[in-house]
Amino acid sequence: MRRERSLSAWRQACSVSPGGVHSPVRAFSSVGGDPVFIASAGGCRLTDLDGNRLVDFCMSWGPLILGHAHPDVVRAVQAAAARGLSYGACHHAEAELCEAILAGFPGFQRVRLTSSGTEAVMTALRLARAATGRSLVLKFDGGYHGHSDALLVRAGSGLATSGIASSLGVPDAVAATTLVVPFDDIAALQAVFAARGREIACVIIEPIPANNGLLLPRPGYLQAIRELCDAHGALLLFDEVISGFRFRYGGVAPLVGVEPDLVTLGKIVGGGMPVGAVAGPARLLDQLAPLGRVYQAGTLSGNPVSVAAGLATLAVLRDGAVYAELERLGARLEARATSSEVPWLRFVRMGSVIWPWFSGEAPPHRADGIDDAAIRRFIALHASMLERGFYLPPSGHEVWFLSTAHDEADVDALALALVEDARALAARESA
């Protein structure tokens, strides 16, 4: 592949932006090499500045379940843009998108739109604190819920500790409002609730954790969280910025058998445009201003172009056949890629979300179980897969996404390339 124009663009970007990027993982620092600069995209393919055509399995980190530039979404965006890019005032399509979202959450009556998943989570946490009159939030080690100060924390020693900031610029006093426990450890949960249950406003969790690998919880774990929240008067917040509308029309509560009190959304509900949302019952959401005293605002919240993209996307997803086809493609990729004699070429998969678990060990259920060897193998394969024309997320901790724009030929080609390169890597490892 030619890379001259991407390299030139990156050098120019570095002169005006920190690291030349506007989100750290794009910098390719986890896999080595220089970032690819994209010129255009359509379907499941990217075209970079050097004219290289790449089959995309990152899909903008999850929003593009219908692929790049889906005709229905593009038409909706163009029509909305022609009517004005931003109003800073109410418009009817906001209510239409909220209704489309609530159709996937029959137990909820309200939605507040924001401009990002991070903002949605910030709003939901403030709402939970106000509703309960408590200050503490409980999250899980390795869980990522956006870059707001109170959530940029990691676990310390022991079963449960106050948060220790994992980013400079987060005051200790702010980090201390977040408790962190190991994921997939019911005893740790019980211990922290026994010690501080009366102070915990809510527990925040990805019900399908997909921000640091695909760490599927064991049976009964989410149920245990729900029971502890109920016993101690805390709220349960499902962060479904990734999982919302990814596996079914709506959230994953029917799949996991646990109902949350609040849900945060993003990505798919914006159809590729910036968006976030908090969904929940009227008794909670109506505490937001202007009805209540919990303040949240945003100049571009409910942006008409983002709303149009979200409405067009959700209209396509109403047809359940979409999810059945994505499951079929995911199963096909998994079967074909893992049928080789390379014992560590494995995936963790749920529907159209796939995590490369390049280890001979059983898949982990928590972040501290991620095998360094698996990550090293992914790094070794990433560059060669890019040379073959496959754009994968530039980190072994990130999941891959399928879209309706992918077809059998795309997943078969990826599987064949993975098998060939994995065999070569396995031979080098055993030499």
Residue ranges covered by each domain of the chain:
4-69+320-430, 71-317
Check pLDDT > 50 for residue 129. Answer: yes
Decide: residue 158, CB within 10 A, 0-12 exposed, 13-18 middle, 19+ buried. exposed
- Choice among 141, 267, 371, 421 that is catalytic: 267
Provide the 8-state DSSP code for 49.
Answer: T
Q: Distance (Å, rounded) from C-alpha 333 to C-alpha 28?
A: 25
- Choice among 239, 371, 410, 421 that is catalytic: 239
CATH architecture entry for 71-317: 3-Layer(aba) Sandwich (3.40)
pLDDT of residue 165: 65
Check pLDDT > 80 for residue 414. Answer: yes
Q: Write down the residue that tokens 């990433």 correspond to.
A: 382
Q: What's the token pair of residue 119?
A: 């903002």
| List of residues 6+ apart from 261 with CB closer than 8 A | 128, 202, 229, 235, 236, 237, 280, 281, 284
| List of residues 6+ apart from 418 with CB closer than 8 A | 337, 345, 381, 385
270 neighbors 306 (Cβ within 8 angstroms): yes
Check pLDDT > 90 for residue 288. Answer: yes
Highest average pLDDT, of 19-28, 358-367, 394-403, comes from: 394-403
Check pLDDT > 50 for residue 160. Answer: no
- Choice among 144, 221, 323, 391 that is catalytic: 144
Q: Distance (Å, rounded) from C-alpha 42 to C-alpha 47?
A: 9
Q: What's the token pair of residue 298?
A: 């945003």
356 neighbors 397 (Cβ within 8 angstroms): no
pLDDT of residue 379: 95
Decide: residue 238, CB within 10 A, 0-12 exposed, 13-18 middle, 19+ buried. buried
Q: Distance (Å, rounded) from C-alpha 334 to C-alpha 330?
A: 6
Check pLDDT > 80 for residue 163. Answer: no
Is 239 considered catalytic here?
A: yes
- The two domains 4-69+320-430 and 71-317 share their CATH topology (first three levels equal): no
Check pLDDT > 60 for residue 253. Answer: yes
Mean pLDDT, all residues of the chain? 94
Provide the 8-state DSSP code for 399.
Answer: P
Distance in Å from the first CA to the final CA of the chain:
29
Superfamily of domain 4-69+320-430: Aspartate Aminotransferase, domain 1 (3.90.1150.10)
273 neighbors 77 (Cβ within 8 angstroms): yes
Band of residue 156 on the pLDDT scale cut at 50, 70, 90 = very low
Is the pTM for the entire model greater than 0.85? Answer: yes
Q: Is the dihedral of CA 37, 41, 44, 45 positive or negative?
A: negative
Check pLDDT > 80 for residue 158. Answer: no
pLDDT of residue 151: 85
pLDDT in tens, 171-194: 888 888 999 999 999 999 999 999
- CA angle 283/286/290 to nearest 5° reads 160
Check pLDDT > 60 for residue 161. Answer: no
pLDDT of residue 164: 53
Q: Write down the residue that tokens 């970007």 correspond to.
A: 13
pLDDT in tens, 302-361: 999 999 999 999 999 999 899 999 999 999 999 999 988 899 999 999 999 999 999 989
